[in-house]
Structure formats: structure tokens, C-alpha cells
Structure 1
Amino acid sequence: MSLRDSLVRPVRFACCILLLAVPGIGIAAAQAAAELEESEPRRIPWILADDFELGGLCVWSAAVGAEPGMPLCFLCGDGLLDLAEGEQCEDGNTDPGDGCSATCQVEICGNGVHEAILGEGCDDGNLIDDDTCRNNCQLPLCGDGVASTGEACDTGGNSASCDFDCSPPSCGDSIVNPSFIPPGGFAPEVCDDGGTSPGDGCSPTCWLEQCGDGVVNRPNEQCDDGDLVQTNACTNNCQNARCGDGFARTGFEACDTGGINTAFCDYDCTLPQCGGSDGIVNFAAGEQCDDGNNNSGDGCSSICLLD
């Protein structure tokens, strides 16, 4: 009768080499079984003592011929979860990066093992987020929202307290930060030319220099009162008010028609007046002459017509 016929129930052997304790199995056969066990975990073919023909399948159960107190075999990757032996998982293989490691430990961020195949950039096994490895197992990076060594700040982009390059914001740093209001400014930055000199198009508070901003900051500006009133001392094109600019300055000019006589205004920004102190011949107002008086018979009548 062959060994196959004599073994009527499957058994779990103690640590593989104890195949030697089964009557009729020689050393060579036991070694062959051990090698097969390594290549196909938990699938130990029976070795027949009479012809060394492989046959049957060992389904593990109680040990046969084991010494008292000898622990049963366990193997990571055999498909059977051995919690008592420290296995956290068992996926039937020893491939890393599939959620269960080659030592049957759950592969998670924070276990101290760098598992690049799972997308980890690092894994230092701690919960310190501002060191050389983030808590999400990614390498520190400016813009990740965590200020780490070498970064003055990190808010994940431009903010009122930090530029996108992880440096403190300032007007003149060549970074336009629309969330930052420079000291002395009245609004967030809209320009930044890397300097704080006036008259170059970007003001010392990183605002576009333009007529109407309330600052005389461009070479062609004579004034800038920051308003839209045309009849005060500074016109809307940032030039000092003058007679002939087309805008009657309140309290100083009676009228202003741009330096020409009209029916309603003399070129000197006064109202047309025949005689008196006017002395301006305003043809648009119907005058033919104006000798500065209202006497008739002197060549110019009292209504400024020739006589």
C-alpha cells in the first residue's frame, strides 16, 4: 500500500521539515516537499515513499509527528490570516504596493515605510507636518499650505500675509499679490515693477500711476487732486487750471471758451461788454468796435458800432 493510501486525512505539518516525522517519507522527499512549499505556499504536494510521485494536496490542520510545543508553520502570502503571528493582512502574495506588504502589514501612510508604488513621496512614520515629510506622505513643497523649514510662510498661494513663493509680501518684490495692501496704500497691489520709485508707471504702493489717483507721480502731471471736478484748480487731465483751457474755474473765471471770443465769452474769460474796461472787440457778440468807453461820436458808438 502506498503512502497516499495510508494517509486518509489532510494534516497541517509543523514547520515543514517535520515531514520527516511521517513514517515512510525519506530525507530527500522531505527536502523536496520543503522546496515546493516555498514556491507554492500552503500547497505542499504529498511525496510518495514508493515511487516519489507527487500527488494529493496538503490542507493544513493539526500537526502530525510534531514535537510537543512546536509551533505550527505560518507564512506571509499563504492566503490565511495569522493574527497570532502578527499578520495585519493577508492577500495571498508578497508583492509590495498592493495594500498588504511583503511582511503582511497594512500599507498605509505613516507606517514608516516609503511605498513609492502607492504614490508616497516619503514616509517618516510620525505625525509632524512641518518636518521633511508631510503627514500625507508627500515631500514638502512651497504652495502645499504648510510652512516648513526654509519657508517664511505658506498659505497655498497669494494671500494678505504671504506671496505664492512662500515669502512675506511687499511692494517692490516683483510679485503682484492681489490680496496684499501695501503699507500706506489704499487698495491691493495691481502692479509691482520690482522697485518703489514714483513716476515709472507703478507707484511706491504698487498702484498704477495715473491722472486722478491723487498723487502727482508722472512727468506730465502738474497737479492731481484725485477728483473728477473740472472747474477747480486742477483739471481732470492733471493740469493746472488756466484761462483758455475750456473750463470756467469757479470763483476766478466768469466763463471759458477755450481762448476764443464767442457771443457769451471773451477770449480772456470775461463776459462780453461794450465799452467800460473791456476794450475787446468781440465780433461774435455783434461788436464792430470797442474803444473802452461808451461815448458816441468818437468813431465807436456807445453800442460798439462804427459811427
Structure 2
Amino acid sequence: MPARAPARLLPRATLVALLTWLPGCRSGDPKTTGCGADSCSATDTTTGVSTDSSTTGPGLCGNAVVDPGESCDDGEDCGAGVCNSDEYTGEKHCNATCDGTYPEWCGDKALQATETCDAGGNTATCDADCTPVECGDGLLNPAADETCDDGDDNSDAYDDTPEQLACNTACTGTAPHCGDGVCQESNEDSTCGDCTCGDGIVSAPETCDEGMATPTCDADCTAVECGDGHHNPAAGESCDDGNMIDNDECRNNCTTCGNGIPQPGEECDDGNAIDDDGCSNECVKPRLVFVTSSDFKGNLGGLAGADMKCGTAGITANPDLPAAAWRAWLSDDTGSPSTRFDTAFTGWYQLVDGTPIAKGWSELTDGNLLAAINLTENGSNPVDPLNAWSNTSSAGAKVGAEHCQNWTSSIFNANIKGHLGATTAMNADWTHLNDAVLNPTNCSNSFHLYCFQGAP
């Protein structure tokens, strides 16, 4: 047989022209299909979108390609995290007809039946997966103050492999380890930089650690011991030179008091062992006490007015002290010596001639004096009547309501009276006279005032 001539292929332009000529085909649009009842077609191979009318529209919903007529197409593989569906999956996805997003999804801020919360993302109470915040769920939620969350691997156990630390069970940081700034006593000692003196944790070789020098612990984290060379004012040490020489600048009891040289913290230092002179053996100056030479009725102007009267007289007792340095030994509803005086004072109370009457607040208020307060600001004895307004107990507290209406009244009235003490007494009568006939008495009477120096 004679050989057949090879088939000739029509050029593409000719093919397009023929298709245009055929009934039902649209000229000039190779992407268009639909050629009438005989159904001819042409495919544009230059794109990835089909031009065959049988492969467009809803028929391809689910192929993960947005075809003509579709607004979305996630595909149908739900296991891969995509799914064209009209069911809640928790994820934002295309609907079953590929013409829009399924309206219900975690993060839309609308609570669905399968969700316990939906705030549109991480919040202090809700995780981004629409479940309540829970440390240990493996979901990091910074909005809930989580800095980590390893799920079931969260741990509070000490970890000595800091390069792979687990999250702690509070999701606030890593598990305990050397380098976290906290001394873990059961696992670390001073070889770990976290266990340092001053951290408040006793770790070997420390014997104490209170974060600072205290009455029981020196700043080097050793117990207080006079002579160890660590000056600890909180423990009452005026000095600590670490030697056993008693007559140098620091005595062996860690004080400088008595060496004749006033040091910081000392009011005085006379270098002798006489306790009740001008400087006590604790290096505290004495404070003066007197009874006013003048007497006053019950309208003293309150406690403040009585203090001013003591201040005026005090200029005579010691011209170097300001008037504000004096306080009246007096009580009413507004205050008493126990609330207005320096109850921490440990030095001597002395009369203006140097006679000691009590050492410190504790002895002043024990009910007995070493001498009666019977000298005035000018060193003389008071004139009759030898009593002083007081309304104060031997403990320095208010006796009762008989205080001449808070020391503002001088009228003669059986219902308005004031309590007094005896300037001749050394027992508790000095401040509260034990005489029901004379005490309390009418505010129209005139009596003296006890005045105490309240500042060095």
C-alpha cells in the first residue's frame, strides 16, 4: 500500500476561527465553553483554571481551588485542618457550597454550644481555643500572665539541667534551679550564686541570715558576738574592734561609753563610773524635773496650755533648753504622760539641784521615787498648798474623768473636779493622792504643776 501522508495539525489560530464559526461558540474567548447541543469545547492551556463548562461551579467545591462561581474552597480534608462544611469545627473554614465562610468558629466572639468561652483570642480568662485558662493545658496565654506552659511536663521539681528547664506548675517561670535568684536550701549551698549572705535564707556556712544586721544576726550572716570585729548597732554595739583591750577606744563590751570621748549614739561621756551624775554609765544625759513655783486653777488651757506654763518656768530651770522641751505631768481625755512622754528614756530624772528621783521611765512609773519632787524651777521649795494637778496614775496613765473638763474649767461646781498629787510624797501619792476627802477637788482651787524635761 502506498504510504499515507502524515496528518496535518491545524494551527491554533485556525482552530479558534473554526470554533468561532460553529454555532453556539463565542468568538474571541477561548475560556468560554458551551457550543450548543453538539457540545464542543476548547481549553486554554495557559492557565490552571478549567474552561470546560462541565468542570466549573459547585461541581468542583472541595477541590481546594477557588473556581469560577466560588468565593472560597478549603478542600475536604478535615484532618489537615481544612474542611468545606456547614458544621462547627472550631476553625474558620469555607462552607459546604463554597460561597462563603461558615459563620460559627472559635474566635468570632460569639459563644457556640460547643465552646465554654469565646473572647476572640487570648484574654485573662479565656484561651484562644475557646477554653477557660488553665495552667497545664499546653496553651501559652500571655494575657493570663502565663510566661510558659509545657502542659503535662510542667514541674516544680528542682532541675539541675538549666539548658532544658521545664515550666513550673504556676506557668509563671521555669522550675527551680541554680541561677533563678532563689536559694534552694535542700539542693544548693554557697557554691550556687543564689545562696548569698543577705538573701534571708540560711545556707551553709551561714549560721543566720536575716537580710541585714539585726539584734541577733550580724551583716556577715554570723550570730552576734561582741569582739568578732563586726560592729552591729542593731544589737546595741557602739563599736566592735575585735580585740580584748578594754581601755582603748572600744571597750570589751562593745561600747565606747566611759572612755571620756563622746561617740555617735552617746549623749555624753564623762569617763567615770558614777551613774547618777551629769552623765550616766550608759552615756545618757539626765533630764530635769521641777514643780512650778506658781500655782494655777483648773482652767490651764488644756494639756497644751499646761505645757506652755511649764515651758515658761523651764527657761529658769535651764536657759539652754527651748520652751517646747518641757511637758506637764497631766492627764485628761486627750492624752497622758504615757502617750506624750519619751517612754524609751533610760537616763536619770533629776531635780534642778542634781538630786536623782528615778532612773528612766520604768523606775519613774514603778510607784516609788528616790526623792520627792519638791523643788521649783529656781531651786526653792513650793509654797502651800503643797499639791499639784495631775489626774495621772503612778504608771503615767489617766486616772479618771475628773480633769476640770479637760483642764479648761475653774468654776466651783460639785460635779466638776480634778485629781491631784502631793509634792511631799515619794510613794504613789506624789502623782495621785490617796485621800478620798481631798482628792478629787474643786477646779476653783489653785495648785502647782509637775514639769518634766522631754528632750536632751
Structure 1 length as normaliser, TM-score? 0.40
The structure in which a higher percent of residues are strand is 2
Q: Which has the higher contact order (CA 8 A, sep 6+)?
A: 2
The structure in which a higher percent of residues are helix is 2
